[in-house]
């Protein structure tokens, strides 16, 4: 059996989504901007996809939802265009974000800092969540934008978007949320709260990779990021990616229809998995599960380094993820893990398991058994569980320098 528990990284494309996309590759392949029937024949499908996305998010007809190539593009667009509109061509000079954002927000903020923008990176509490009152205390009259993710990719923790939205509205500051990990996992109703911009990505809810969107409240000003022809009402140029937009529409419809019911089913499996693996001694879960996306577990397993754990899970054909520095290309400690603080060990022992609506009970049973075996084997090798104590003087100090 193989078990995919890395659905916060990407998801399987739902076969129903693939089916909806197929006619728009080799049958109805016209450019929707063309006047002839080859072009216009895809319009009904595009209109349907647009309807599906608006309905899924309960967006108002006065709002814009612009298809992009991915959420990284959507995030870059908001940050860089607000920089251009309100900082370069305005009197603002400050942005507020959090320490735990996705790299497409953090790296863009660092780039903007090089251009002279002041950026405040808000800390998170021990639950891994930014508190709304913290956001309030850092907004100044020079603040152009607040950008706070809707839910964390690492922990699944859900941020107080409604409260932050109210603060931003009161202060007259633009509010952007990276909604990638929330949309399709928890109900998102854009008319029930105040947020100016929301980024999303289809491949996180069983749609194809390479298509995302940006929600723009009330069709407000935001200078285009990609300049060119007059596509998407002039907001985002580039020939419409018809099959992928159709796929995104279908995917978001499937993910959000009866979302409470689907989420409850995923959560039941997640809770069963979580309850079983927390039976293992010396484990810790990050974040209260009442305030978490229903599919995510971030667990720290004492004495077992994250990459080793992934290695053993992979041998059992289980795909998971770790924030461990050792598993990254640059050996950089995971910023989310470090931001949660508590202890450094989490940065090296954290394992993320993320389910989907396709995860089965049999897969959960299999994963529980392999998880237990992997911990058992790796702890049998681990120095953290050795019994013979070091020779006097042979103890290690915490993180000593390599000699001298």
Determine if 35 is a binding residue for other proteins (CB under 8 A): no
Select 35 or 399, whichever has its Cβ closest to other proteins: 399
Q: Catalytic pick from 70, 109, 168, 326? A: 326
At its nearest, how many Å lie between other proteins and the CB of residue 68? 22
Give, as ranges, the residues between 321 and 340 that touch other proteins (CB under 8 A).
Answer: 324-327, 329-333
Stretch that binds other proteins, among 91-99, 113-121, 247-255, 384-392 (CB under 8 A): 384-392
**What are the residues whose beta carbons fall under 8 Å from the beta carbon of 174, sequence distance 6 or more?**
82, 86, 144, 145, 146, 168, 196, 197
CA distances from 123 to 96, 101, 244, 341, 380 (A): 11, 11, 36, 10, 37
Give, as ranges, the residues between 284 and 313 that touch other proteins (CB under 8 A).
Answer: 302-308, 311
326 tagged catalytic: yes
**What are the residues whose beta carbons fall under 8 Å from the beta carbon of 235, sequence distance 6 or more?**
64, 66, 216, 222, 224
Stretch that binds other proteins, among 73-81, 204-212, 221-229, 381-389 (CB under 8 A): 381-389
Give, as ranges, the residues between 339 and 358 that touch other proteins (CB under 8 A).
Answer: 343-345, 347-349
At its nearest, how many Å lie between other proteins and the CB of residue 343? 7
- What is the pairing mode between strands 64-68 and 94-98? unpaired
Residues 248-287, one symbol each (x = binds other proteins by CB under 8 A, - = not), give ----------------------------------------
Q: Which two tokens stand for residue 403?
A: 């000699």
Q: Which two tokens stand for residue 208?
A: 């194809």
At its nearest, how many Å lie between other proteins and the CB of residue 339? 16
User: How many other C-beta atoms lie within 10 A of the C-beta of residue 20?
Assistant: 23
Select 153 or 308, whichever has its Cβ closest to other proteins: 308
Please, are residues 312 and 300 in contact by the beta-carbon 8 Å criterion? Answer: no
Determine if 384 is a binding residue for other proteins (CB under 8 A): yes
At its nearest, how many Å lie between other proteins and the CB of residue 332? 7
At its nearest, how many Å lie between other proteins and the CB of residue 393? 6
DSSP H helical segments within 115-241, as ranges?
A: 132-138, 161-171
Determine if 397 is a binding residue for other proteins (CB under 8 A): yes
Q: Which two tokens stand for residue 332?
A: 């950089």
Determine if 387 is a binding residue for other proteins (CB under 8 A): yes
Please, are residues 232 and 66 in contact by the beta-carbon 8 Å criterion? Answer: yes
Give, as ranges, the residues between 136 and 195 that touch other proteins (CB under 8 A).
Answer: none
At its nearest, how many Å lie between other proteins and the CB of residue 169? 38
Q: Give the residue among 117, 158, 114 at the shortest CA–CA distance from 148.
A: 158
Which residue reads 């419409």 in tokens?
240
For other proteins, how many residues bind (rule: CB under 8 A)? 49
Determine if 131 is a binding residue for other proteins (CB under 8 A): no
Please, are residues 77 and 64 in contact by the beta-carbon 8 Å criterion? Answer: no
3-state SS, residue 379:
helix
Select 35 or 396, whichever has its Cβ closest to other proteins: 396
At its nearest, how many Å lie between other proteins and the CB of residue 391? 5
Please, are residues 291 and 129 in contact by the beta-carbon 8 Å criterion? Answer: yes
Q: Which residues carry out catalysis?
A: 326
Q: Interface residues with other proteins (CB under 8 A)?
A: 302-308, 311, 314-315, 324-327, 329-333, 343-345, 347-349, 380-391, 393-404
């Amino acid at each position: 059996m193989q078990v995919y528990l890395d659905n916060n990284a990407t998801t399987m494309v739902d076969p129903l989504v693939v089916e909806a996309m197929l006619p728009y590759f080799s049958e109805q392949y016209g450019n929707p901007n063309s006047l002839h029937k080859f072009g216009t024949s895809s319009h009904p499908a595009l209109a349907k996809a647009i309807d599906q996305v608006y309905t899924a998010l309960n967006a108002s007809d006065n709002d814009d939802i612009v298809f992009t190539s991915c959420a990284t593009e959507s995030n870059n667009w908001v940050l860089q265009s607000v920089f251009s509109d309100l900082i370069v061509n305005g009197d603002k000079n400050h942005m507020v974000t959090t320490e735990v954002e996705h790299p497409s927000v953090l790296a863009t903020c660092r780039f903007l800092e090089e251009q002279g923008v002041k950026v405040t990176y808000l800390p998170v509490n021990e639950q891994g969540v930014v508190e709304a009152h913290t956001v309030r205390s850092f907004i100044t009259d020079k603040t152009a934008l607040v950008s706070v993710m809707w839910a964390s990719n690492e922990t699944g923790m859900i941020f107080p978007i409604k409260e932050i939205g109210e603060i931003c509205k009161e202060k007259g500051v633009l509010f952007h949320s990276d909604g990638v990990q929330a949309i399709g996992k928890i109900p998102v109703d854009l008319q029930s709260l105040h947020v100016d911009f929301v980024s999303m990505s289809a491949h996180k809810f069983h749609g194809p990779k390479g298509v995302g969107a940006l929600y723009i409240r009330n069709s407000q000003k935001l200078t285009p990021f990609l300049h060119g022809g007059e596509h998407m009402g002039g907001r985002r140029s580039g020939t419409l990616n018809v099959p992928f937009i159709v796929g995104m529409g279908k995917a978001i419809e499937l993910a959000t229809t009866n979302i409470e019911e689907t989420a409850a089913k995923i959560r039941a499996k997640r809770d069963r998995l979580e309850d079983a693996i927390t039976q293992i001694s010396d484990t810790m879960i990050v974040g209260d599960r009442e305030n978490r996306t229903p599919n995510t577990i971030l667990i720290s397993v004492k004495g077992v380094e994250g990459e080793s754990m992934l290695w053993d899970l992979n041998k059992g054909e289980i795909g998971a993820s770790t924030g461990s520095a050792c598993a990254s290309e640059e050996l950089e400690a995971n910023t989310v893990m470090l931001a949660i603080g508590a202890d450094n060990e989490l940065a090296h022992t954290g394992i993320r398991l993320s389910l989907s609506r396709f995860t089965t009970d049999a897969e959960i049973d299999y994963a529980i058994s392999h998880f237990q075996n992997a911990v058992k084997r790796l702890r049998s090798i681990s120095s953290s569980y050795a019994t013979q104590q070091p020779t006097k003087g042979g103890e290690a100090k915490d993180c000593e320098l390599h000699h001298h």
